[in-house]
Amino acid sequence: MRDEIRAPGQAGGFEEVVLPHLDAAYNLARWLVRKPQDAEDIVQEAYLRAFKFFGGYQGGDARSWVLKIVRNTSYSFLEKNRPVELAEEFDEKIHTDVVEQPGAETALLQSADSRMLREALDELPVNFREVIVLRELEGMSYKEIAEVKGVPMGTVMSSLARARTQLRAQLIRLRTKEEQGGLRK
Amino acid sequence: MACENNKLLLRAYFDGELDAVRSVEFEEHLKTCTQCSQELREQQAMRDSLRAANLYERAPEGLRARIRASLPAEARPQPIPIPRRPVLEWLAVAATILIAVFLGARVLPNIGGQRENLVAEEIVASHIRSMQPGHLYDVESTDQHTVKPWFDGKLDFAPPVIDLKEQGFPLVGGRLDYVDHRNVAALVYQRRKHFINVFVWPEESKTAKLPDVQTIQGYNLVSWSHDGMHFCAASDLNIAEVRQFAGLLEQ
């Protein structure tokens, strides 16, 4: 037996468990608060918090654990600095009122470019943006998303469904707007 | 719009959250239900666009260093010495270890399983990340004699690199990746429009032994060991083709 105990920087310590998820942490914060500088501050604060609570980390999925802290830090930030964004509701009546035409949408969705997707995602309310980012960009399972958000898996499923419907509607709206804009020229 | 009865199933299927039996059942339903298959195509189109749009925001340069610097000094790697203990305490420690070993023998298989899950999830995460534009390979080449030497000096082992173009799985490149706390080689193969990532690292006593075949979030993983190397192929291809591919590579 060696004359030392596990220090935070050693195998299974803070550096090894938490730091590898820095990209995931930044990606989530960046999409939640939408401003790079704010995202950096939030990640830094979240990592300090993570360090403080690391004693309570029981093993298990480190990424979910880190992202949960990043999420809570981001929401506290929004509450304090931009409460309007948290209260934002998507006007589902207007935005999802699209003509259901089988097949036509598929082509449209496929042709959406990066800028358009960014804009569409950016315009979703924060809780919908969040589930899309965790599921589609971070590739998390329902169970992991539930852990990050602190809600039951059924809630994850339903918000994901609503988020997707709205993202789709948003994309179609942007696309149609663009086409009409093009026609006018 | 999916048909009313199968809305939930469709979502779970699309997100790889159904078990194998129910997936097969739902695939049967898809064959006859145009509503559901149309909905699935639309969801897939949106997912493809999202993945192709390169929306993942990586941490900027310098953030890691800033965080390291802001952490209290004890977060940085350094052994913490334990003061010397009297004999009795050592006895207590010895007894604790004995009990731990005894319990460990009963509990450990589960802990081992957890670790394999972590490694498998890491592999899926790496695979997903590699599908984002610009992340697929560090060296882009269909020539095994270009890809293999590229790893020279970047890894402490030489991964076997073979091309399977004639068998329908052309090699398209390679990159460095990080799995199970070590640098590993990732070889990229293509099958039609699908990519297969093969992660290769040397087997050690502590290497997590992954199950031969598993499905995580809709991605199929096939693992095997050969000549002291551990291999794990990950892809969104169907399981039969991933196994066929693994069989070819293993030969």
Q: What is the CATH number of the domain that holds B219?
A: 3.30.200.100
Token pair in block for residue A172: 């179609």
Provide the residue count of chain A. Answer: 185
Question: Is residue B131 within 8 angstroms of chain A, CB to CB?
Answer: no
What pLDDT is stored for residue A59 in this prediction? Answer: 76
Q: How many H helices and E strands in chain A?
A: 11, 1
B49 and A117: CB-CB below 8 Å?
A: yes
- Summarize pLDDT for A65-87 with one digit per residue, the tens: 999 999 999 999 999 999 888 88
- Cβ-contact A15, A6 below 8 angstroms: no
Q: In the numeric block, which tokens belong to residue A133?
A: 């980012």
d(C-alpha B173, C-alpha B205), whole Å:
29
- B237: tokens are 């291809």
Letter string b/e over residues A86-105, b meaning 16 or more CB atoms within 10 A of that residue's CB: eeeebeeeebbeeeeeeeeb
Task: Give the domain-ending residue among A85, A114, A136.
Answer: A85
Q: Which of B46, B53, B67 sits opposite A168 (nearest CB)?
A: B46
Of residues B111 and A154, the one with the higher pLDDT is A154
Taking CA atoms, what residue in B is nearest to A60? B114
- Measured between beta carbons, the chain A residues lying within 8 angstroms of B17 are 141-142
Looking at the structure, do residues B42 and B120 belong to the same domain, yes or no?
A: no
Task: Report yes or no: B71 at the A interface, CB cutoff 8 Å.
Answer: yes
Same domain flag for A60 and A131: no
- Does the CB of B46 have a partner CB in chain A at under 8 Å? yes
Identity of residue B77: P
Asked if A65 and A105 sit in the same domain, the reply is no
Domain that holds residue B225: 113-250
Cα distance between residue A98 and residue A91, in whole Å: 13
pLDDT, residue A10, reads 45
Contact B71 A164 (CB under 8 A): no
B74 touches chain A (CB under 8 A): yes
Residues A150 and A178 in one domain: yes
Whether A155 shows a pLDDT value over 50: the answer reads yes
Residue B54, chain A, CB below 8 Å: the answer is yes
The pLDDT of residue B215 is 87
Q: Which of B146, B154, B192, B149 is nearest to B173 (CA)?
A: B146
Identify the residue among A15, A109, A167 best suited for mutation to test binding to B, counting B beta carbons within 10 A and taking the highest.
A109
Residue B93 lies in a domain: no
Chain-chain contact of B77 with A7 (C-beta, under 8 angstroms): yes
Q: Which residues lie below 8 Å from residue B117, measured CB to CB, with a gap of 6+?
A: none
- For chain A, the domain total comes to 2
Query: Rounded to whole angstroms, how far apart are CA atoms B189 and A24?
Result: 26
Q: Residue A3 falls within a domain, yes or no?
A: no
What is the model's pLDDT at position B113? 65
- The residue that leads in pLDDT, B210 or A137, is A137
Angle between the N-to-C axes of helices B20-32 and B34-52, in degrees from 0 to 180, rounded to the nearest 10 = 110
Distance in angstroms (rounded) separating the CA atoms of residues A124 and B145: 48
Residues of A in contact with B46 (CB under 8 A): 109, 112, 164, 167-168, 171
Classify residue B128: in a domain, yes or no: yes
Range of the domain at A150: 90-184
In order along its 251 residues, chain B shows pLDDT tens digits of 557 778 888 999 999 998 888 888 999 999 999 999 999 998 998 898 888 888 999 999 899 999 988 887 655 554 444 555 566 677 777 777 777 766 665 555 445 567 778 888 889 988 988 887 777 888 888 888 888 888 888 888 899 999 888 888 999 899 988 888 888 999 999 988 889 999 999 988 777 788 888 888 889 999 998 888 999 999 998 888 888 899 888 87
Task: Name the pTM for this structure.
Answer: 0.58
Say if the Cβ atoms of A25 and B74 lie within 8 Å.
Answer: no
Residues A53 and A123 in one domain: no
Q: Which of residues 201-230 of B touch A (CB under 8 A)?
A: 216-217
Name B131's Cβ contacts closer than 8 Å, sequence gap at least 6: B51, B195
pLDDT score for A6: 42
Closest-CA residue of B relative to A102 is B38
pLDDT, tens only, B192-214: 888 999 999 998 877 778 888 88
How far off is chain B from A88, nearest CA to CA, in Å? 23
Q: Report residue B138 as tokens.
A: 């560090």
pLDDT mean across residues, chain A: 83
Among B123, B175, B133, which Cα is nearest to B154's? B175
Instruction: Name the amino acid, one letter, at B98.
Output: L
Could you tell me which of A38, A40, A43, A39 has the C-alpha nearest to residue A19?
Answer: A43
Quote the tokens at residue B17.
């959250």
- Residue A75 inside a domain? The answer is yes
Query: CB B79 to CB A16 under 8 A?
Result: no
Say whether pLDDT at A56 is over 90. no
Q: Please answer whether residues A47 and A25 qualify as being in contact, where contact means their C-beta atoms are separated by less than 8 angstroms.
A: yes
Same domain for B34 and B120? Answer: no
- Out of A70, A85, A100, a domain closes at A85
The pLDDT, as a whole number, for residue B56 is 93
Based on the structure, what is the number of domains in chain B?
A: 2
Backbone CA torsion sign across A29, A32, A38, A42? negative
B82 assigned to some structural domain? no
Q: Which CATH number is A102's domain given?
A: 1.10.10.10
User: What backbone torsions phi and psi does residue B202 show, to the nearest 5 degrees?
Assistant: -70, 145
Please give the pLDDT value at position B196: 94
